[in-house]
Structure 1
Amino acid sequence: MSKAEHQDAPVLTDEELRSLDAHWRAANYLAAGQIYLMANPLLTESLRPEHIKPRLLGHWGTSPGLNLVYTHLNRVIKARGIDALCVWGPGHGGPAILANSWLEGSYSETYPDVPRDGAGMARLFRQFSFPGGVPSHVAPETPGSIHEGGELGYSLSHAYGAAFDNPDLLVACVIGDGEAETGPLAAAWHSDKFLDPVHDGAVLPILHLNGYKIANPTVLSRLPEAELDALLRGYGHEPLHVTGDDPAQVHRDMAAAMDDALDRIAAMQQTAREGGVTERVHWPVIVLRTPKGWTGPAEVDGEPVEGTWRAHQVPLPGVRENPEHLRQLENWLRSYRPQELFGPDGRPAADVLACVPDGVKRLGATPHANGGLLVRDLPIAPLDDFAVPVDKPGATLHEPTRVLGDLLARVMKDTGRRRDFRLVGPDETASNRLQAVFDVSGKAWQAERLPVDEHLEHHGRVMEILSEHTCQGWLEGYLLTGRHGLFSCYEAFVHIVDSMVNQHIKWLKTSRELPWRAPIASLNYLLTSHVWRQDHNGFSHQDPGFVDHVLNKSPEVVRVYLPPDANTLLSVADHALRSRDYVNVIVAGKQPCFDWLSMDQARAHCARGAGIWEWAGTENGGEPDVVLACAGDVPTQEVLAAAALLRRHLPDLAVRVVNVVDMTRLLPREEHPHGMSDFEYDGLFTTDRPVIFAYHGYPWLIHRLAYRRTGHRNLHVRGYKESGTTTTPFDMVVRNDLDRYRLVMDVIDRVPGLAVRAASVRQQMADARTRHQAWIRAYGTDLPEVADWTWDA
């Protein structure tokens, strides 16, 4: 039976009901056909085992509900002339979205070899989850999609990201009741407190409760309706219920719910945009309860299927081997009456297409799902406007991220009318020294404001919520729909989105292989408050491993930069913000840092990605005895301090200093587009001299990147090795053997002949480390020779 709470809403005419039901049945037929058939798509003959795919893959259970939503979105889009995008949270229901895009024609326009006729239907069926075909999930290959089926829990944050700064866009978001149990989805409900009804579009969540996950009931489907309503109202939504298994009544109720929801949305937007009302609005949410595997087999082998977890994937698993299953499959497919839905040539009948919008209004053709078609270059002012003056290396200090904040503030200002740039982060914009942006834009906020609050604005474009998942989802949705942004985060806690960045990298990799997907703005991370300057917060805040995680991924997509000072950070950020289809990870400190390079030098150094700092070494044009390499701001300072000590104590030693900004330069050219050839690498690091490499993160990453190089056996890396606590800044590097004294000792240990000749120098370095330990325990601060050190070589 069916139940609706909107009896006053317009009722479908019989003709509208008939055409909507025809479209829905056609989509159900196509979804089931994709899972099972590799021949005989129109059932022009009785099914035989050879018509069935040898491997049955896909998810039927959610598909009928997704088809229902797609059908009814078509209706309101066409009737109201609105621009809409849908994020399909149960993206494993790929056959449903493929079926609908084929019906509306957008699939055949994207893939002309799959026309909207019998031959195209056969191709559509055969290619699904088939070698050389298309994935079983909604994926980049699916027209109209910005969300992959493996991104469980990210749909709602993606939807809000798409709606921000898109005032004329409706973003529907189907949320599966299984994914509703995830942490990312639970936090994403709070996104409505950040949605500005004046400058942003609307998000219409559609919570699809079909009762089961793979093998277990879902939590929300088992809540009493009053309790579920209280939960949704607590999140700030007004629920509209559609419940039932009678198709005709569900169609009528779904149409009424859609009209009710869109009328409410239009009224709230009009009140805010024309009436200046600023009170937080409570947006509608549709709660759709239909059986899992609706219209499929009710029972298989004596076990109930429809309405149970058994319908989740393939409800009839033994069709090739079991004649009874084959008979049930044919009865199931013929129950949709395909002869009424498709002509003899396989083309959809007029009734089936009556609800389908035209052109770019179709969900599979909207440019908002192919954001590269809409993206515009960012207006980035000349870097010299923000650069810090550097007359000589190491004479001045600046906070790199504060300098970057001025650049980001200008970008925010210059995109003020366009509204296509946002800065997101978990409550850390000011902590990360980026607060200059608040002079241009406040923080988005629609909830209550108190007199003590600062920088909260209804129309703000800085996004802060203490949920890295939500920040990531917002930004992904924003980028995928054609805009720009940057995610600022404490380095140790960006790991929370490890799985999310995995999926985005996979999306970008696949998208780059699809000529119809236009490149989008890159996903840019600024990781600061990093491991070496979390001495005050302690071990829990010390983890530089996100770089390792990202560098495991597709080399054509990922980039990692460790700028050593403010001007190199500006150069790297300028490059990242202008780039397309990458994930750029920038690790930079927010504490005062020595300025090493002028702006012109920084540009040249960042363009190289790695290079010799001749002014810091003592090789004087000859061959070095040792190479001191560094990557990261604190390792760079320690290497330069070690170089100064060597210059003083071992003046005859030829030292080369190499700084690496672009970590992917260490890879072979065959493995990464930025990688060095063996000739370049050998020229920089030598083939036979000791290389002492001070690295920002876990030392084994450098070995992994460089293991194929000729001189790898001479490579000795110092980095973070999980020795952390609450202590002084210099003690952090001492604890991890990254300090200047340890680096000098490493040089003495590894340069042939120095062990004996420089034994007294080594002893002095060891004594300095011992003196350091006694000093910090007595005074709680670093040694004066460390705290007051400057580069004066």
Structure 2
Amino acid sequence: MNLSTLKPNTSDITSETLEHINGYWRAANYLSVGQIYLRDNPLLKRPLKKEDIKLMRLGHWGTTPGQNFIYVHLNRIIKKYDLDMVYVSGPGHGGPALVGNTYLEGSYTEIYPEITQDENGLKKLFKQFSFPGGIPSHVSPECPGSFHEGGELGYSLAHSFGAVFDNPNLIAACVVGDGEAETGALAASWHSNKFLNPETDGVVLPILHLNGYKIANPSLLARIPHEELIKLMEGYGWKPYVVEGDEPMQMHRDMSFALDNAMADIKKIKNYTTQEDSQVPRWPMIILKSPKGWTGPKFIDGKPVENHFRSHQVPLSDPIDNDEDFKQLEKWLQSYQIGELFDKNGTLKKVYKELAPQGSRRMGMNPNTNGGLLLKDLLLPDVQDFALPVKSHGDNGPGDTRSVGAFLKEVINLNSKQQNFRLFGPDEILSNRLNEVFDATNRQWNAQTDPNDEFLAPQGRAMEILSEHLCEGWLEGYLLTGRHGLFTSYEAFIHIIDSMFNQHAKWLKVTAELPWRRQLASLNILLASHVWRQDHNGFTHQDPGFIDHVVNKKASIIRVYLPPDANCLLLTMKHCLKSKHYVNVMVAGKHPSPQWLPYDQAILHCSKGIGVWDWASNDQEDQTDIVMACAGDVPTLETLAAVSILRKELPELRIRVINIVDLMKLQSETAHPHGLSDSDFDALFTKDKPVIFAFHAYPWLIHRLTYKRTNHHNFHVHGYQEEGTITTPFDMTVLNKLDRYHLVQDVLKHIPRSESKNDYLQEKMKDMLIKHRNYIEEHGVDMPDVKDWKWDI
């Protein structure tokens, strides 16, 4: 018989300890119910009155007693084995459990001294929960010991693995809810065990909490046969222990046995320096099957509640106006017999208080959950060592991301001792031309290998799996626990993590407002293989809309950069890797492309974030006729190609060329910290001249960022118009009217037409577009006029 199907059977726990654990659990359950319902009379020293009950009752009970059960048992093994352990709450809205347990262990009061360990403190603790001016109902940043917010499901395991990479002494106890277990991100996360190195990384202990139901439906993993569930987890590579039932004392005994067995397994794996037969170690996990809403009302109005979806949120919905609900609530609160647990002052009795760990061993005070406390500055090389020589504007370069690959190689080398930087990507590090990183590191991989594999090793700084969810989740967990990293992805498919980015940005926003939270390293995202160079993959790979999504978030958190060439990208990358507490999005090309700025000019340009390129402009002595603005590498190329046509054909036309690296410069200084003042913006873009703007992404974003500016009505933006296919690189710009010929035509529409040669130039541009179409349809490549074009003014 497979041992993983047996109930655990090894522990030295005594009956007295089990009684104390049960008492602690009752206290945590009482605190959880009190948070949902009570605003006064926290110790029930007098009979409950309807005035003691919150007028608006919010929160989630169903998952809470199971999480309280897990928390107290984790406290026991932390003390027994002196563990460095964090608690990751995957089920949605488990706030009452984590707030209550951190209060019982004393962490909450240390962070919030006004929430004292007495009756008055309990009253404040209860009232603030899901109350205006108080705290949210989920495991939010305000809660000590949290670094994973349970508001959105699917990412708990990925965050847990990110937390333990390069953290060899840390154990992340990850509670996976049965609703969460149905998400695609969580299903993929079980495979993270193939990337864990027992020597250099910590441990993730998954606790699959199956309480049978979600909001209004049964959960799938709770309804499949027991043997099938075991085989599923074993197929993922785990060794499951099952704890199942509803009788508290027996469940306490079984959970104690399961955890002691799991710790024995972990010790055995961690003591191995090499794995037998090159097999992935089978890390332990626990499957906990307990009733949803355990210890709560069993029936309400004749309908089942405990062990049913009706316990999910607030089981007794109307205890103020419904007398039967009121009686049941009072009975429910009294069932925990809190007089046995708290003294007359409202302080947890010593015999129970001693069950909690001390100091930073408490899960609420573990420094990994406030990663900024552990953050060390990243060692970064001198950008000049990697800068491309640019003898004349427009010199050809090998591809902007190639230079960054060389830079990142040295970042990895410089931080090899600190082991606090990793590169994450969905099997695209090579595709995005960051090849040189593999001169410094391997891909971390602890599954089977083949002699023909490349760059795979049990330890490495590069993390690749074909799941954007896992890459993002691993990186977030890594950052949240005090390290640095970079996520590189195809631009079109970064949308897969839209919602994950949302949650992280919200976390950064809220933690920045909490004085006890410390700043984290920024979430850095490099988008390569972008929309304008996905001509070989076609329409499915062409979408620059992630920028729009990012700009929706809090201005104090988000930054968007569109460097026009390799030197600007290098400087931007170093700036982003040095920064703290932002989300930095960089977009760059990987194909050979023109290099516009020598290193010294690139420093000045990137420092400003936006500027006039005087070497491309000719309005220095006269009044400006037209402004040509660009943001992005391909838009910059097409803008300068258009400018070269205009300056040769219409030499009297006075043109100003503006390039934007930092997109947020376009906003007002009152809307974004990087924004320009109105006077500075007007000095650049003028107050009344036409602006032909070539933009990397969707045109309306520029209008949105500039709509309050004096000259906004004169902005004519070219960008991606949702036109694409498998075609030539230049044809992609033509399809979306971002090309040089359409830009020239637009200029001619917005300048005085007093001279007939303007009309001839219009016709010439139409002819060039026809010539382009005919050429690519015959030859399959762009015509020499485009491919061989050079800036020669």
Output the CA distance in 2 between the equivalents of 1:329 and 1:426: 50
Structure 2 residue matching 1:272: 3-state secondary structure: coil
Output the CA distance in 2 between the equivalents of 1:460 and 1:182: 28
Aligned equivalent of 1:48: 49
Aligned equivalent of 1:577: 577
8 Å Cα contact 1:398-1:566 kept in structure 2: no
CA RMSD of superposed structures (Å): 1.2
8 Å Cα contact 2:508-2:581 kept in structure 1: yes
Aligned equivalent of 2:341: 341
Output the CA distance in 1 between the equivalents of 2:51 and 2:386: 69
Structure 1 residue matching 2:204: 3-state secondary structure: strand
Question: What is the identity, as a one-letter code, of the residue corresponding to 1:455?
Answer: F
Question: What is the identity, as a one-letter code, of the residue corresponding to 1:429?
Answer: I
Question: What is the identity, as a one-letter code, of the residue corresponding to 1:85?
Answer: V
Output the CA distance in 2 between the equivalents of 1:559 and 1:211: 43
Alignment of 1:590-629 (within 5 A): 590-629=590-629
Call closer, same or farther: CA 1:225–1:211 in 2, change over 3 Å: same
| Pair 1:567-2:561 in alignment | no
Question: What is the identity, as a one-letter code, of the residue corresponding to 1:540?
Answer: T
Aligned equivalent of 1:239: 240
Aligned equivalent of 2:225: 224
8 Å Cα contact 2:5-2:230 kept in structure 1: no
Structure 2 residue matching 1:396: 3-state secondary structure: strand
8 Å Cα contact 1:564-1:661 kept in structure 2: yes
Alignment of 1:204-215 (within 5 A): 204-215=205-216
Output the CA distance in 2 between the equivalents of 1:622 and 1:350: 84
| Pair 1:381-2:381 in alignment | yes
Aligned equivalent of 1:196: 197
Measured after TM superposition, the shift of residue 48 of structure 1 is 1.1
Aligned equivalent of 1:15: 16
Call closer, same or farther: CA 1:218–1:613 in 2, change over 3 Å: same
Aligned equivalent of 2:785: 785
Output the CA distance in 2 between the equivalents of 1:755 and 1:21: 91
* Residue deviations 1:410-467 (CA, integer Å, cap 9, x gap): 1111111211100000000011011111111100111110011000010012000000
Structure 2 residue matching 1:616: 3-state secondary structure: coil
Aligned equivalent of 1:137: 138
Call closer, same or farther: CA 1:218–1:173 in 2, change over 3 Å: same
* Residue deviations 1:132-186 (CA, integer Å, cap 9, x gap): 0000000111101111121200000000000100000011100000000001000
| Pair 1:325-2:301 in alignment | no
Structure 1 residue matching 2:560: 3-state secondary structure: strand
Question: What is the identity, as a one-letter code, of the residue corresponding to 2:520?
Answer: I
| Pair 1:543-2:543 in alignment | yes
* Residue deviations 1:694-726 (CA, integer Å, cap 9, x gap): 000000100000000010000000000001000
Report the more deviating stretch, 651-660 or 115-124: 115-124
Aligned equivalent of 1:362: 362
Measured after TM superposition, the shift of residue 12 of structure 1 is 2.0
Aligned equivalent of 1:147: 148
Aligned equivalent of 2:169: 168
Measured after TM superposition, the shift of residue 245 of structure 1 is 0.5
Unaligned 5+ runs, structure 2 = none
- State the TM-score, normalized to the length of structure 2: 0.98
Structure 1 residue matching 2:272: 3-state secondary structure: helix
8 Å Cα contact 2:171-2:202 kept in structure 1: yes
Report the more deviating stretch, 364-373 or 350-359: 350-359
Unaligned 5+ runs, structure 1 = none
Report the more deviating stretch, 324-333 or 654-663: 324-333
Aligned equivalent of 1:74: 75
Structure 2 residue matching 1:79: 3-state secondary structure: helix
Measured after TM superposition, the shift of residue 306 of structure 1 is 0.2
Measured after TM superposition, the shift of residue 231 of structure 1 is 0.5
Question: What is the identity, as a one-letter code, of the residue corresponding to 2:550?
Answer: V
Alignment of 1:682-697 (within 5 A): 682-697=682-697
Question: What is the identity, as a one-letter code, of the residue corresponding to 2:595?
Answer: D
Output the CA distance in 2 between the equivalents of 1:8 and 1:68: 19
Aligned equivalent of 1:118: 119
Call closer, same or farther: CA 1:4–1:232 in 2, change over 3 Å: closer
Measured after TM superposition, the shift of residue 499 of structure 1 is 0.5
Aligned equivalent of 1:740: 740
Output the CA distance in 1 between the equivalents of 2:713 and 2:234: 63
Structure 2 residue matching 1:205: 3-state secondary structure: strand
Measured after TM superposition, the shift of residue 7 of structure 1 is 4.8
Report the more deviating stretch, 681-690 or 391-400: 391-400
Aligned equivalent of 1:450: 450
8 Å Cα contact 2:210-2:288 kept in structure 1: yes
Measured after TM superposition, the shift of residue 218 of structure 1 is 0.3
Measured after TM superposition, the shift of residue 279 of structure 1 is 3.1
Question: What is the identity, as a one-letter code, of the residue corresponding to 2:734?
Answer: V
Output the CA distance in 1 between the equivalents of 2:705 and 2:9: 66
8 Å Cα contact 2:563-2:588 kept in structure 1: yes
Output the CA distance in 2 between the equivalents of 1:757 and 1:649: 8
Output the CA distance in 2 between the equivalents of 1:113 and 1:573: 43
Question: What is the identity, as a one-letter code, of the residue corresponding to 1:25?
Answer: R
Ranges of 4+ aligned residues in structure 1 off by more than 6 Å: none
Alignment of 1:266-285 (within 5 A): 266-272=267-273, 278-285=278-285
Call closer, same or farther: CA 1:742–1:694 in 2, change over 3 Å: same
Output the CA distance in 2 between the equivalents of 1:6 and 1:61: 25
Alignment of 1:472-487 (within 5 A): 472-487=472-487
* Residue deviations 1:464-485 (CA, integer Å, cap 9, x gap): 0000001000000000000000
Question: What is the identity, as a one-letter code, of the residue corresponding to 2:258?
Answer: A
Structure 2 residue matching 1:758: 3-state secondary structure: helix
* Residue deviations 1:66-89 (CA, integer Å, cap 9, x gap): 001110110000111110111100
Aligned equivalent of 2:466: 466
Aligned equivalent of 1:257: 258
8 Å Cα contact 2:627-2:692 kept in structure 1: yes
Alignment of 1:665-704 (within 5 A): 665-704=665-704
| Pair 1:761-2:758 in alignment | no
8 Å Cα contact 2:211-2:292 kept in structure 1: yes
Call closer, same or farther: CA 1:646–1:456 in 2, change over 3 Å: same
Output the CA distance in 1 between the equivalents of 2:580 and 2:53: 42
* Residue deviations 1:382-421 (CA, integer Å, cap 9, x gap): 1111111112211232311010001111111111121110
Report the more deviating stretch, 61-70 or 110-119: 110-119
Measured after TM superposition, the shift of residue 553 of structure 1 is 0.8
Output the CA distance in 2 between the equivalents of 1:53 and 1:259: 41
8 Å Cα contact 2:278-2:448 kept in structure 1: no
8 Å Cα contact 1:108-1:114 kept in structure 2: yes
Structure 1 residue matching 2:482: 3-state secondary structure: coil
Question: What is the identity, as a one-letter code, of the residue corresponding to 1:784?
Answer: P
Call closer, same or farther: CA 1:7–1:790 in 2, change over 3 Å: closer
Output the CA distance in 2 between the equivalents of 1:197 and 1:64: 33
Measured after TM superposition, the shift of residue 621 of structure 1 is 3.7
Output the CA distance in 1 between the equivalents of 2:571 and 2:319: 60
Alignment of 1:417-432 (within 5 A): 417-432=417-432
Measured after TM superposition, the shift of residue 354 of structure 1 is 2.1
Question: What is the identity, as a one-letter code, of the residue corresponding to 2:420?
Answer: D
* Residue deviations 1:270-297 (CA, integer Å, cap 9, x gap): 0127x89853101111000000000000
Aligned equivalent of 1:493: 493
Question: What is the identity, as a one-letter code, of the residue corresponding to 1:201?
Answer: G
Measured after TM superposition, the shift of residue 757 of structure 1 is 5.0
Aligned equivalent of 1:314: 314
Question: What is the identity, as a one-letter code, of the residue corresponding to 2:207?
Answer: I
Aligned equivalent of 1:287: 287
| Pair 1:713-2:713 in alignment | yes
Structure 1 residue matching 2:121: 3-state secondary structure: helix
8 Å Cα contact 1:4-1:253 kept in structure 2: no
Aligned-pair identity in percent equals 55
Aligned equivalent of 2:36: 35
Output the CA distance in 2 between the equivalents of 1:296 and 1:250: 17
Report the more deviating stretch, 607-616 or 276-285: 276-285
8 Å Cα contact 2:8-2:241 kept in structure 1: no
Measured after TM superposition, the shift of residue 11 of structure 1 is 4.1
8 Å Cα contact 2:492-2:531 kept in structure 1: yes
Aligned equivalent of 2:660: 660
Structure 2 residue matching 1:242: 3-state secondary structure: strand
Output the CA distance in 2 between the equivalents of 1:78 and 1:790: 70
